[in-house]
Amino acid sequence: MSEVAQNTPSVHTHELRLWVHFNTPAFLGGADQSSEWRTPPFKNLLREWWRVVKAAELGWKGQGARPLWETIREAEGRLFGHAHLKHKDRHGRERTWQMQSRLSIALDRWREGSLKTWPDEPEIPHRWVQRNGGMTGAHLYLGYGPIPSRGKLKAPPAIGAGECSRLTISLDGGERELEDLRHALALAHWFGSVGGRRSNGWGSLSLHEGTGRPICSLEDTKFFQPFARPLADCLKREWPSALGTDDGDKPRPLIWRTRKEHTSWSNLQVAMAKIKIAMRINIGAPPYGSFGDLHLLGLPVGNHKLGFKSERLASQLRIKIHTVEGGQLVALIVHLPHRLPNDMANELDSRRDSYHGQLRNQEVKVWKKVHDYLDNCDDLGRVGW
């Protein structure tokens, strides 16, 4: 068994009790595809931000000859459970070893969401729309799939904004593992969402202590500084290992906040849809059927088919909706940079089109163009340390 697996610290049972509040509707997807409160999305949320915490703890370096992703994958399996990790026995034969999760999550009750009908769907202009007078639904634009057309839910009900539940997390682990878990929860509070179309702000949640106070302040930006890395470093990896920052001597986090506070999630999502549409138009539409700059922001792009083995690439830009003092709402846009996966890059390079041999340089140029647009957007301000 590997050194990481052998050196298990002394463990204790720790229990964290929190309240989960949704700031926007969430589409968690039960067995019948309607939304209901269930624990797997919250465990996945913890995994996602725990990886960022662990990468920072390791200095964004693997152990020995193993790359970072492999080191984290093994540590993750030891904490969250696994049935896939392997080691070599004393005879040099490869064996699979399994571990039960040492972290469990419980909700006070599992129930379906309360949002059975969608509110009025505001329409906004989009120059790339060829029908409906060049107008598109703002909520539809950010929630295509769960909100297929005219604001109708595909499979009601959804979990409504304002719904909350008690979340209990039990950990059999050491003090360092407990600290990692607390940091992951804080990052989830700052930037995390769950369910369908979560990168567009749906399923934005906040985590509160028993007293009703958020587990960390939205103004305490120094907290996430240890989990941030320069853009160029982040683009060396195929997965989101850190929050992004500018390159240079005085890097700033790649996080933007709306200047205006809104009275409803519906109005705020209209504002975010307008920003996202304008940002993508600023990048420009790729030729139909060809890979272009816009595809680096996420796939699919409309009905453009590229012929890749996989036509899906999650967006690196995340929208997160927060409730602030007085019940008003603000939005964050955060960039968790990573490069185009190697399998896609290899397929693209084999085509010998305009991106041949230029992909990695173009990634930097495109993302800096996105950052420049967000910096110059009147409705947004860059978050500082």
Residues 66, 251: Cα–Cα separation, whole Å? 29
User: How many other CB atoms are found less than 10 A from the CB of residue 30?
Assistant: 14
What is the gyration radius of the CA atoms in the chain, in angstroms? 21
Low-confidence ranges of the chain (pLDDT < 50): 1-7
**3-state secondary structure (DSSP) of residue 304:** coil
DSSP string covering 52-119: HHHHHHTTT--STTS-HHHHHHHHHHHHH-BS--EEE-TTS-EEE--B--SEEEEES---B-SB-SPP
Question: Per-residue pLDDT tens for 267-277?
Answer: 999 999 999 99
Pair 161, 265: CB distance under 8 Å: yes
Architecture of domain 11-79+103-117+155-216: 2-Layer Sandwich (3.30)
Pair 329, 261: CB distance under 8 Å: yes
- Report the pLDDT value the prediction gives residue 229, as an integer from 0 to 100: 96
Parse the chain into domains and list their residue ranges.
11-79+103-117+155-216, 225-385
Question: Per-residue pLDDT tens for 188-244?
Answer: 999 999 999 999 999 999 999 988 899 999 999 999 999 999 999 999 999 999 999
What single DSSP character describes residue 120? P
- Report the pLDDT value the prediction gives residue 6, as an integer from 0 to 100: 44
Cis peptide before 230 (omega within 30 of 0): no
- Report the pLDDT value the prediction gives residue 193, as an integer from 0 to 100: 97
CA proximity to 296, closest of 253, 251, 344: 344
